[in-house]
Amino acid sequence: MQSTNHKKKKHTWNNVFTLLKPKRLQLFIIATCTILIYITSIVFPLSLQKGIDAALDEDSSQFYWMLSLSIVASIIKITLSNWRLITIINLGAYLELSLSGKFVKTILSRAYTKQQLSPGCILNATNRISHIKDFTLNTAPQTFLEVGQAVISFILIFHFSPTIAILTAAILAFSTLPLRIRSSNLPHRLQEYNIQENKKQNTVCSIAFTLKQIKYHALESFIYRKALHRLKNTTASLRTLLKVSSTIQLWGSLTSRTLTFIVFVSGCLSVKSNNLTIGEFMIIQLLVSRLSTLLCSTSDLFSKYQEAKTALDNMEFFNQIPAENSLSTSDTKAEENKIFATFNLTSQHPNGNNALQNINFELNSSGLIVFAGVSGSGKSTLAHTLMGLSGYSTGEIYYFGENITTLNIRGVRRDISVTDQDNYIFSGTLRENLCCGRTITNSQIFHTLDCVGLTSFVETLPESLDFFIDENGRELSGGQKQKICLARAFLKDSKCYILDEPTSALDSEATSRISSALTALSKTHLIICITHDPGLMKKANKIFFITKGSIIASGHHTELMSLCSDYKKMYTTSKNSIYS
């Protein structure tokens, strides 16, 4: 198990290193600047020490030479540090963009699961990408620089006073073990906080997405109490994490102060016994301050590393979700002129109950097909299964004679026009929501808008097709959103359409218009409608009536009215609800 975790950790960091490979020049600049900064770190204290001793000896010539050298070394160090910082900033922007782009691509290529791809988890993982960038290009390089300077400082301290150097090494060695013990609990606390943060993000996302419904049902107080409970859990987890982190920082600070005090006392005694000059004593104090800086930053290094590692683990978690292009083979064949065919298709709910059971049908390349049934009978589940959004336990699905598991499911989706009950609208212009990146002329767009009865609405918009729609179309009515989604589906001009409740938010006039458009389109295309609309049922070429996940009857409307009492009851109820 330990070996597996080690390989996983190595793999996740390798992803970062792979992204940085094309930026070898920038990495070389950073390394070169770091080496030159190390050199100035040697020149500056030595020249300063010589200058101080020259001043005490009243050697003005040497004093000015050493002073000039120390000033030049400082200027060079400042210039190199600034150049190094600018390069790191540019590299950081590149790395964050690359990591974010790769993460979004990963999310879009994974198989859909509600639990694993929840908005809160995705949002939290996205926000934490900056931790990877900060550690890789800020904390780690800065610590590396400080470690190098600390090594140089220790060598110089040993040069001036081996006794003080040995004392310094002993104090540093003594502080290492307690620091490691105190930091051992940090990964667990950080993981715990990450879980709570995911839940908090889910809560906030849910409020943002359903604010209108919350207000409509007067649930503000109830939702506030639930959210406050989640926020308290997250805050408590954060408080525990910060306590662990502050303990590490406190220990580093105490060690730093102890080191400074002991070196100061030892230095004073050495000066008194003439083992050190005043200049050497002052430079040792300067060098020890560098070691103290490293001690103080070590605690920050532990925290930042764990944050970056957690962020990488989050990204790796999404990488482990199966991609959609899983392939398999089957001996059963379907006719190639059938757009969709299913054989004994069965799927299950998470609780083990069947969602679909032994679904069998074959759908030709044209016609208006209706899947009808009471709410919860499995109609939408069937649509999601055909589109690869819900899995199935047994049976087979064929698309144009090919087993769907042997096809690229995203390619299948690109071939099909769909609408769903959520009436998905994304943040962007009306044209973008209709065309989805395809080049379509205004005349084609307005012809389609006229078919769905949306032309008059678009003409009232100040920017017409370039009108910007907020996320989820919050400023649009339910009917307007449904018409936009229908227009989007029609503009795609696919061979097959899967429309889930395409007229549920429309009035009778708009419903009649859409029904006529679908009837005309069904002469050359396959239209699959999941609906309670009695008008569409009467116009359908074939109806499949579903009850408890099974097709119990199929045929034309008139046939089902005489042969299936459950269908007749549902149809009568739907018709009465429209005209009541």
Lowest-confidence region among 62-71, 144-153, 461-470, 520-529: 144-153
Q: Does residue 556 have a pLDDT over 80?
A: yes
Q: Which of 431, 436, 485 is nearest to 458 (CA)?
A: 431
- Convert the pLDDT of each residue in 483-519 to its tens digit: 999 999 999 888 899 999 998 888 888 888 999 999 9
Q: How many angstroms separate the CA atoms of 114 and 111, rounded?
A: 10
Between the ranges 120-129, 222-231, 410-419, where is the mean pLDDT highest?
A: 410-419
CB contact at 8 A, 186 and 244 = yes
Task: Write phi, then psi, for 228 (nearest 5 degrees).
Answer: -65, -40
Q: What is the pLDDT confidence band of residue 580, given thresholds at 50, 70 and 90?
A: low
- Convert the pLDDT of each residue in 196-232 to its tens digit: 877 787 777 777 766 766 775 566 787 788 888 888 8
| Contacting residues for 70 by C-beta, under 8 A, at least 6 apart | 43, 44, 47, 48, 51
Residue 288 Cα to chain centre, angstroms: 43
Q: What is the pLDDT confidence band of residue 1, given thresholds at 50, 70 and 90?
A: very low
- Convert the pLDDT of each residue in 387-408 to its tens digit: 888 878 889 999 988 888 888 8
What is residue 234's predicted lDDT score, i.e. its pLDDT? 83
Q: Answer whether 0.85 is exceeded by the pTM.
A: no
CB contact at 8 A, 536 and 507 = no
- Convert the pLDDT of each residue in 422-457 to its tens digit: 888 887 888 998 988 888 899 999 999 998 899 989
Q: Which residue has the higher pLDDT, 265 or 303?
A: 265
What is residue 476's predicted lDDT score, i.e. its pLDDT? 85
What is residue 361's predicted lDDT score, i.e. its pLDDT? 92
CB contact at 8 A, 311 and 132 = yes
Q: Does residue 113 have a pLDDT over 70?
A: no
Q: Does residue 115 have a pLDDT over 60?
A: no
So where are the chain's domains? 12-320, 340-579
Q: Which residue has the higher pLDDT, 302 or 289?
A: 289
| Torsion, CA 282, CA 287, CA 289, CA 295, rounded to 10 | -160
Lateral strand order in the sheet of 416-419: 416-419, 496-500, 526-530, 367-372, 542-547, 550-555
- Convert the pLDDT of each residue in 178-194 to its tens digit: 666 666 777 777 778 77
Where are the extended beta strands (E) located within 211-294?
A: none
Domain 340-579 superfamily per CATH: P-loop containing nucleotide triphosphate hydrolases (3.40.50.300)
Q: What is the pLDDT confidence band of residue 523, given thresholds at 50, 70 and 90?
A: very high
Q: Where would I find the H helices in 499-556?
A: 508-521, 534-539
Half-sphere exposure of 506 (CA within 13 A, CB side): 26
Q: Does residue 352 have a pLDDT over 80?
A: no
- With a pLDDT cut of 70, the percent of the chain lying above it is 88
Q: How many angstroms separate the CA atoms of 280 and 278, rounded?
A: 6
CATH class of 12-320: mainly alpha
